[in-house]
Chains A and B, each alone.
Chain A
């Protein structure tokens, strides 16, 4: 168990357009999901925390109007990169937190590689 999927796995878009990335927990319910970004040769950086049925919490320096997060159900969170620019090109990875038994393990999706031209 603890499988998380992401779609699409890679996307190329033109500067100024918007891209939506979906994150699904396939075999468990996740009240909390997280969105991370990883630039080449760097570690993962938390962008925002997505809570089912409420507004996302964004990390300092992450523009909430640019990175729109929606967590409409216990198994789906979406990240929309609006008005994308080349500097938004990165590896976007979501995780879902499985709780129970005192554990707070996060399981990651396979990631979405975004290239903005």
Chain B
């Protein structure tokens, strides 16, 4: 049974600060890792994908992957109130053939 664990929060961060979101996964064979943002009542929106160990940066977002520790993180720099949402960590197996296994999400609140 594949599991993806996230702290449900809420995680409260002042505007302009760095928000740090964490995720661990149980299936050591997992190959692809994703962060999605979900606003209340809406479907998930892809923020970042990462496939190899290390850091991947895209604008204000940085994803970090450590396969040895089975750990994925997302950093959001210069946090904005519009970043307030639930962030979902998702994992799938090799080749992308499987559907995604999602964590329960971390509710992030950016305080103006």
A contact residues vs B (CB 8 Å cutoff): 2, 32, 34, 36, 42-46, 48-49, 59, 93, 95, 97, 99, 102-111
Q: Name the one of A42, A59, A106 contacting B46, with C-beta atoms under 8 angstroms.
A: A106
Bound-complex Cα distance A93 to B43 (A): 7
Instruction: With a 10 A CB-CB cut-off, give which of A42, A43, A48, A95 has the most chain B CB atoms.
Output: A43
A-B contact pairs, 15 of them (CB 8 A): A34-B100, A36-B99, A42-B104, A44-B102, A46-B99, A46-B101, A49-B97, A93-B43, A104-B92, A104-B95, A105-B34, A108-B45, A108-B46, A110-B42, A111-B43
Within 8 A of A (CB), among B61-110: 88, 92, 95-105
B46 partner residues in chain A, CB cutoff 8 A: 2, 105-108
B98 A99 Cβ-Cβ under 8 A: no
Secondary structure dominating the interface of A: strand
B44 at the interface (CB under 8 A from A): yes
B43 to chain A, nearest CB (A): 4
Q: Name the one of A45, A105, A109, A110 contacting B49, with C-beta atoms under 8 angstroms.
A: A105
Bound-complex Cα distance A62 to B60 (A): 39
* Range class of the B interface residue count: 20 to 34
B contact residues vs A (CB 8 Å cutoff): 32, 34, 36, 42-46, 49, 51, 88, 92, 95-105
A34 partner residues in chain B, CB cutoff 8 A: 99-100
A49 B99 Cβ-Cβ under 8 A: yes
B105 partner residues in chain A, CB cutoff 8 A: 43
Bound-complex Cα distance A82 to B101 (A): 25
A108 B96 Cβ-Cβ under 8 A: no
